[in-house]
């Protein structure tokens, strides 16, 4: 079983930055492609960003391209999401996701989920 624990959420003003972290335990981290999804109140969970097992391939939703950066440190079993130029519409619970071998860009394809961390962007 894989356990994912997110941290780093909080309240920030529009234009500000936050860095989310997700630490993974229970399995060999480098065997998993990792990603971030988010779910705003009353909306469906949506893809934000993903990174391949070795970190060489990155994927982003159009809504965050140029503002968010996903990265991973396989020695620390941790994946990060650096979020810059935050907007009120980025407000959501951000969930870490792990997939054995392949990238997942849809919620139904994710193998393991974290419980999420709340990001609130005020205008």
pLDDT given at position 112: 96
pLDDT tens figures, 55-113: 999 999 999 999 999 999 999 999 999 999 999 999 999 999 999 978 999 999 999 99
Strand 32-39 to strand 46-51: parallel, antiparallel, or no bridges (unpaired)?
Answer: antiparallel
Contacts of 55 (CB under 8 A, 6+ apart): 71, 72, 74
Tell me what pLDDT residue 67 has: 98
Asked if 119 contacts 88 with a C-beta cutoff of 8 angstroms, the reply is: no
**pLDDT tens by residue, 4-26:** 999 999 999 999 999 999 999 98
CA dihedral 47, 114, 21, 81 (to 10 degrees): 0
Looking at residue 82, what is its pLDDT?
Answer: 98
Judge whether 78 and 65 are in contact, CB under 8 Å.
no
Average pLDDT, whole number, for the chain?
A: 96
């Amino acid at each position: 079983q894989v356990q994912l624990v997110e941290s780093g959420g909080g309240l920030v003003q529009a234009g500000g930055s936050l860095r989310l972290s997700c630490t993974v335990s229970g399995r060999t981290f480098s065997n998993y492609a990792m990603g971030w999804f988010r779910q705003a109140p009353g909306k469906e969970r949506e893809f934000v960003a993903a990174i391949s097992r070795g970190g060489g391939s990155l994927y982003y939703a159009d809504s965050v391209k140029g503002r968010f950066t996903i990265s991973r440190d396989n020695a620390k079993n941790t994946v990060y999401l650096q979020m810059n130029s935050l907007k009120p519409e980025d407000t959501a619970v951000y969930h870490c996701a792990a997939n054995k071998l392949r990238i997942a860009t849809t919620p139904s394809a994710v193998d393991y989920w974290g419980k999420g961390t709340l990001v609130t962007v005020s205008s």
